[in-house]
Amino acid sequence: MNDERLAEARAWLRQDPDHETRDELAGLITRAGGGDAAALADLDDRFRTRLAFGTAGLRGELGAGSNRMNRVLVAQAAAGFAAYLREKSTGGTPTVVIGYDGRRNSRVFATDSAELFAGAGLRAILLPRLLPTPVLAYAVRHLGADAGVMVTASHNPPNDNGYKVYLGGRDQGSQIVAPADAEIAAHIQRIADAADAAALPRSTAYETAGEDIVEAYVAATAAVAPAPEGASELRWVYTAMHGVGWETLSRILHAAGYPQPAVVDEQLTPDATFRTVSFPNPEEPGAMDLSFATARRAKADFILANDPDADRLALAIPDAAAQGGWRRLTGNEVGLLLGARAARAAAGVPGASLACSLVSSPGLAAIAAHHGLDFHETLTGFKWISRAPGIAFGFEEALGYLVNPETVRDKDGISAAIAILGLAAEAHGRGATLADLLRELGETYGHFASGQVSVRVEDLAVIGNVMLALRTLPPTQIAGRSIASAEDLLQGAPGQPSGDVLRYRLTDGSRVIVRPSGTEPKLKVYIDSRAESAEGALAAVAELEAGVRALLDERS
């Protein structure tokens, strides 16, 4: 096996155009060839497999090798995707738009892709500078492109990057789903098998989009919720989490008529090291601490935070009971606020619907029913949510919201921010706060609460073993509550989403869902309850969280 790995590494080295990863790999090969056990293990990790191209495209750690994100892997992906688009073309020259964020190598990967698309005979349009993911998703539809590529790893650790793929036409600018993912992957594999990325045709005859594409996105997003009278009195804080959201959002605020926020200066501009946070995700403990400190100084009414590529949004409000006096709302709470807003606007529109992933709050179904709208429950991911028939609004509990489906068929943390500002301004105009809006939600649609238990693992086999144990020895109760029904979504019941998901409905109306994470080495458990009061719903969730941990300990 050692000889095989060394041969694979040398073949990779010959096609690598990047001096940094070439030097990194050459050093490893030298040490491994001399019998260094650590170097051999490192080579095995880099080459025993390749980053899988799936419905989320590519995402992984930067470095040399087929199991890392690098210029060889990106070249193979771009050439394979170009072959797929040529194969599917029904006439004319396919058009691809390419965007990139502020992570390490994002611009390099985007430029490589533009050159390879152009070299393959496609019309390639590179966005003018680093921009949020929603701008790329918007550009695919706005330009009538056949496809789009966004180079980003969203809120992953600093040394990761990724390659997210969208399709235009009948896919309306949504992310890819089966069977397109497997077909693209097959084309990529054929390119990889040739092991000659350096020989792939390139051309600098790609286009660079003008500022008009950004201006069009700004205008469309400002129209989501133009500032009502009195909005100038809002006091709020914003952080870009070291990402690319601020420049675009600040222009939209001006266009929509909202006041500029107090900003977290340390996190306002793109920084690929994400130096002030251990993990650049607003959901992670400590990630919003600087925002909380800024809000206390500014005596703010609320905080808005984007993740680094600005496709997600976090919202925090003052809460005397919370540590530091501020509480980040859950993605479900924000989703229900925005869902109720959308439902009020869509009421009476034939075929209009609300949609959320199966792990998100069942409260959205109650909102849809209250307003006479259709409701769709999908698998996790906006590639599914965005395809819901008649969608007026969609969300996922992991801070993702689709509020403007006519322009962006993906989660969009910037348009969601504008929608929240509209809600906050309207509430302020009648002397209410966002906390009051949450209370009104419960009074109107029922009191829902949610919780989550995540188990991070070093060995992915642990997750498979736990899922197998739950299937072979199913639980009969959780936290003393009997299980009324258990569903294994691997079975793919007609009309239901299918996947590696276990769903338990309890006799008290609560729900527990277990699934492996699609992007991290985690087992995730989602808990939802409904009660006569907000306090009752929260208490039920706390008890179920303890019961879930005990169950997982038994099955581990």
394-428 burial code (b ≥16 CB/10 A, e <16): bbbbbbbbbbbbebbbbbbbbbbbbbbbbbbbbbb
What whole-number distance in Å separates Cα of residue 244 and Cα of residue 102? Answer: 7
Question: Based on the domain organization, do 260 and 316 belong to the same domain?
Answer: yes
Chain centroid, CA 329 distance in Å: 17
- Of 66, 154, 386, 415, catalytic: 154
147 and 291 in a single domain? The answer is no
DSSP, collapsed to helix, strand or coil, labels residue 389 as coil
pLDDT tens for each residue of 263-281: 999 999 999 999 999 899 9
**Is the omega angle on the peptide bond into residue 497 within 30 degrees of 0, that is, cis?**
no
What tokens were used for 160? 């990761």
What does the alpha-carbon distance between residue 270 and residue 492 come to, in Å, rounded to a whole number?
Answer: 43
Active site residue 357: no
Q: Is 434 helix (H, G, I), strand (E, B) or coil?
A: helix
What is the count of structural domains for the chain? 3
Residues in Cβ contact with 431 at an 8 Å cutoff, skipping those fewer than 6 apart: none
Structural domain includes residue 495: yes
Q: Do 199 and 327 reside in the same domain of the chain?
A: no
Evaluate whether residue 43 is within a structural domain.
no
Average of pLDDT values for 462-485?
94
- Alpha-carbon gap, residue 544 to 556, rounded angstroms: 18
- Is it the case that residue 228 has pLDDT exceeding 90? yes
Evaluate if residue 55 carries a pLDDT over 90: no
Does residue 494 have a pLDDT over 70? no
* All residues at 6 or more sequence positions from 158 whose CB lies less than 8 Å from its CB, including other chains: 103, 104, 272, 273, 274, 280
In sequence order, what are the residues at sequence separation of 6 or more whose Cβ sits closer than 8 angstroms to the Cβ of residue 532?
Answer: 447
**Claim to verify: residue 305 and residue 407 sit in the same structural domain:** yes
Q: pTM value? A: 0.94
Residue 205 belongs to domain with CATH number: 3.40.120.10
Binned at pLDDT 50, 70 and 90, residue 457 comes out as confident
The whole-number pLDDT of residue 496 equals 65
What backbone phi and psi angles, to 5 degrees, belong to 161?
-150, 175
Same domain, 419 and 459: no
460 pLDDT band, cuts 50/70/90, is confident
Task: Count other Cβ atoms within 10 Å, centred on residue 104.
Answer: 16
Residue 488 inside a domain? The answer is yes
- 149 and 247 inside one domain: no
Q: Which of 436, 455, 471 is the last residue of a domain?
A: 436
Do 385 and 261 fall into the same domain? yes
Q: In the listed set 436, 456, 491, which residue is the last one of a domain according to the structure?
A: 436
Flag whether pLDDT at 330 surpasses 80.
yes
Q: Looking at residue 221, what is its pLDDT?
A: 98
Indicate whether 430 belongs to any domain.
Answer: yes
Rounded Cα–Cα distance for residues 350 and 305 (Å): 34
Look at residue 483 and tell me if it is in a domain. Answer: yes
- Residues 465, 482, single domain; the answer is yes
> What domain range includes position 428?
211-436
Based on the domain organization, do 205 and 217 belong to the same domain? no
**pLDDT tens digit sequence for 312-327:** 999 999 999 998 899 9
Task: Assess whether 326 and 465 both reside in one domain.
Answer: no
